[in-house]
Structure formats: structure tokens, C-alpha cells
Structure 1
């Protein structure tokens, strides 16, 4: 039903800044052969909205990623999901191996562009499957490769696993 739009990770990926301070990388990965809906991977760095006392945070960014399905004719979001059970039918077996490398590349680009001092992320499930934890471990490794250290992890007030990453080196502007 969905045909892949990628055969490899794109070399040109753009970061978009929204008026609310959110930065996003949205990469189309598949198209519905019947109705033309576009399936994309959306990676985001959002300014923190809550005081996350359990993580010891007041000022931070949050990293999220999801599968976004859009109807190109109305250009409205049909839905976005982070639940693998919901996303699976939209991602052909041929495209699935590219998803995590695409998320990791998008994360690196967002970190390079925004240069946040502190980044928070959280599982969307209270009881993530081992495969989901493996993916979060890959994301943590990418943060480390990009100059961040893990400063805290634990359970939030809803019982979900969270991580706090801090930039390990100061940012020096040369403007």
C-alpha cells in the first residue's frame, strides 16, 4: 500500500524553525499508492513547556520524533504517532531499516543548529518494549558523539523513563 520514497539517508536535510521556537526536521519516507498520503519522520527540538521537577529542570529543550501522515490535498495533518503498533502499517519493510539512522542524523542536525545546553527526552510508554529502549540507547550514544553527557535519568511523574543530556562543551559564538 505504501511505496518507499527513500533508498538511502538523504544527504540534504533542512531544519525548520517555527514561530513558537520549535525546530523541526521533517523527511518524507513513503507515499500511499491509493490516496497519495505522505508518510514522514518528524524530529523536533521544542522549548521546554513544564517545570520538570523530577528531572531537576526549569529551562531546557525536549527532543521528540514521530511518524507523521499528511494528506497532500488538504495539507492538514492526518495524524502523528510515536506508537510502533500504529506506525508499522505506514512503514514498508523496505524503509524500516532507514528510520533510526534518519532519526539519528536529524538529531545531530538539530543539535548543531540549535545548540541547546540541556535536552530532555522521555519514553511515551510506561513500559517500553526492549526494542524501544535499544532505540533510546542509540539516541543517547548519538548525543554523546555530538558532545553531550547524560546528566540524569529516571522515571517521570507518570512512570515513564526519561533522560537529561547536557552539552559537555561551552558554545562560543564567533560572529
Structure 2
């Protein structure tokens, strides 16, 4: 790695890199720049982090000029990051990502369609810093969620154990 560059771990054959923590890019396992270092957020937003690739998608966290924080999902397409028009709360696991509306959580597909409605309770354990905890993400076909103060599991169709 070049002197002065910071890099992340390799996931799906790529790792993020930055020299100034405001512009990010991705390199492959040979050190070749796959995605050039540049801004991945709106021109008025300052990047706060960029996540590792997971299931072909990555996340970028940003804060705009009035302090509003957001997380945007990107996918790799022809060596360019493509920004869909929706926000998420965590990485893509088993084809869906956590999203929120009106202080409730649900799951959204990478194409922007709502997979499971936002009807699950917020809990501090569901998002820890920049990383999503094992709650509120799918693994082996189910996700642990909380509704009306009770924990249970849901499948990809929203069927639950409550």
C-alpha cells in the first residue's frame, strides 16, 4: 500500500482505500485501483465512512451541511458506483438491507422495493456505530427483530414467530 493511504479489509475481492478520509476508492487484491478515489456522496455532504462490499453492495455514510446523517447503498456496475434513490440503515444480507421510516425498521431490496414493511421497533442493539449487529439482519433465512417489546424471528416473506 502506498505511504499515507489507509485501507480496509478485502471483501469480495476488493478493499476500500483513502488518503484523506473524504474521498474513497476501491482496489483489488493485486493493488490495482478498480474504482478511483473520489466523493461518493452529494457535493454538500461530507463522507463519514465507506463500508466493505457485501453481496455486491457497499454503503457510504455522510453528513450534510446541516448535520443530517444518512447512509446510502451503492452497487458495483461496470467499475462505477451506482447510487440508487433510497437510503438504508445497514448492509445487504441475503438480498435485503435494513431500512427505516417513522422510527420503525423493515427491509428493502437493493432495487429499492420494500421487501418487509417498516413495522419493527428500534433498539440500540440493532445498529452499533457503523456496523449492524446480528439483530436486524438476515442469516440462514431469518432475522431477529423486536415488535411491541417482544423479540422474535421473521423470514424473507415477513412471516414471524411472534
TM-score bucket of the superposed structures, by smaller chain: under 0.3
TM-score by length of 1: 0.26
**Where is the strand percentage greater, Structure 1 or Structure 2?**
2
> Which one has more relative contact order, counting CA pairs under 8 Å at least 6 apart?
1
TM-score by length of 2: 0.27
